[in-house]
Amino acid sequence: MPVFLSAALLAAAAPSAAAPAPAPAARQSLAVAAGAATPEDLYGPLFRAVELARVFPDSKTFADMIPNAAPADIMAAYRAERPAGRDALAAFVARFFVQAEARPAQALPLRAHIQSLWAILSKPPLATKAGSSALALPYAYVVPGGRYQEFYYWDTYFTMLGLKADGQTAMVESMLDNFVSLIERYGHIPNGTRSYYLSRSQPPYFALMLALSDNHDPAVARRRLAALKAEHRYWMAGAACLDASGACQHVVRMPDGSLLNRYWDARDTPRDESYVEDVATSAAAGPRPVNRDLRAAAESGWDFSARWLGDYQGLATIRTTEIVPIDLNSLLWAMEESLARRCAEAGDAAAARDFAAQAAARKAAIGRWLWSADEARFVDWDRARKAPTPIVSAALLTPLFVGLATPDQAHATAARVRRDLLAPGGMRTTTRRTGQQWDAPNGWAPLHWIAVEGLSRYGEDALARTIADRWLATVNRLYKATGRVVEKYDVETQAPGGGGEYAVQDGFGWTNGSVSALMQRYGIADRDLP
């Protein structure tokens, strides 16, 4: 298998098992860790002026720029000069901030192109500069691409699948150790490695990432187990503050007293990376606060979808924190199962029994509240309406992916996918057309991998292969026509996906990962792709 990373980068990607653990920073469960100010925190009036004047078409651009002077000096200059208007603000930003650009890759057959992209998307260890929103990373890592030039949480699981398929095992280990470092410093894995992402996480795939590791060093295993326990504490911290409302932080008390989880964010302000968009959504929502719900949807990774919308259509009706999602709770069940197994292997029988009991309780609660016998499908639960939501989405495949579903539930899910979600170019994200990017007609790489793995686990091999073949055909046809591998696809027309807060992005980490992993799984060569 060819190797595409430089020797220097591979060396950086291979942390020593004996390396000392970073000292944990002072952290708070309900707020951003001390010293990790967001761009809005640092540059207040300047940040708001630049964003609201639309100096950059994408709100994330300024949030990610690197200052070339101390933040205090920049703000002193801003107060002294008082630049007003888009042109004056743009000139001021150009003097004090810089932006990094990624290199393009050469044209090759699809799999070879993806393999060449790993070197472009790989980054060396990062030491941060004062005033930058970036968080330090001690080891090498891979970014998604395009506007996403930092290390992300759930994206990385699907990227790792491709890295492993393409022989980049050192990078897989390196990224696992970066995640351990993040948990040790902040108490959780943030949405991404920017200060403005610290107030939330993303779908918890760390336990599943650990299963991809080839490292069997006992010291590494102990450190990773401690990190996994800490992540579980983060997601379950709200159990200690539940009150009559029935929800605190990420934890929700269901009507029978059982505990499940929701997406949530510790901040309730506009997102730094989507500042002007959130200001506009808040204005459209009127007196009802929506910033925390917008942020919680970003934590879900499904930003945005009819799953979170009060009228299942308009973003101003977003109410993510009222929804108990099937995918999140399936992943937390998988985490608890992993913790029980790893604690048993470590000789901690008491902890193993505790986590096994938590997993069993969660499984029972999912069976009662997140499975609809009437509709024969997995559902999201609406706390306010005390009923399942009507949204049929690809999230219903997550219980199959982690092995939580019964055989009958799995076969009913397969029938639902055939009827409602299967499309000419892969699998629709939902059946709704809202203009949001996590709805029809878009399809996404992680959901296709989840579907293929989940359906195959329960013997639905023909449907799994159909989904894989259609998805690979969509990616390859667009690549042959444009030279691009993108973030999302329209699986009905086999074109780039639409909707969302920004233009479709090239790169793209999890698409690359899904393609390499699926081609390896089914023994597909480039010449076999349509």
Q: Which long-range contacts (CB under 8 A, 24 or more apart) does 354-363 make?
A: 355/232, 359/333, 361/258, 361/259, 362/259, 362/260, 362/329, 362/332, 362/333, 362/336, 363/333, 363/404
**Tokens of residue 465, six digits:** 């292969």
Phi, psi of 247 (to 5 degrees): -150, 140
Helix 86-96 vs helix 71-81: crossing angle, to nearest 10: 150
Instruction: Please tell me which residue in 303, 322, 336, 506 is annotated as part of the active site.
Output: 303
Q: Are 190 and 198 in contact (CB under 8 A)?
A: yes
Known active-site residue 303: yes
Q: Are 160 and 175 in contact (CB under 8 A)?
A: yes
How far, in whole angstroms, is CA 498 from its chain's centroid? 19
CA distance 151 to 142: 7
What letter represents residue 322's amino acid?
A: E
Per residue, the 3-state secondary structure of 387-411, as one string, reads EECCCCEHHHHHHHHHCCCCHHHHH
Instruction: Please tell me which residue in 40, 487, 490, 506 is annotated as part of the active site.
Output: 487
371 strand-pairing partners: 378
CA distance 123 to 492: 35
Known active-site residue 487: yes
Q: Is 72 exposed, middle or buried (0-12, 13-18, 19+ CB in 10 A)?
A: exposed
Q: Are 1 and 166 in contact (CB under 8 A)?
A: yes
C-alpha dihedral (468, 472, 473, 478), degrees to nearest 10: 150
- DSSP code of 315? G
H helix count then E strand count, the chain: 19, 17
Give me the active site residues, please.
303, 487
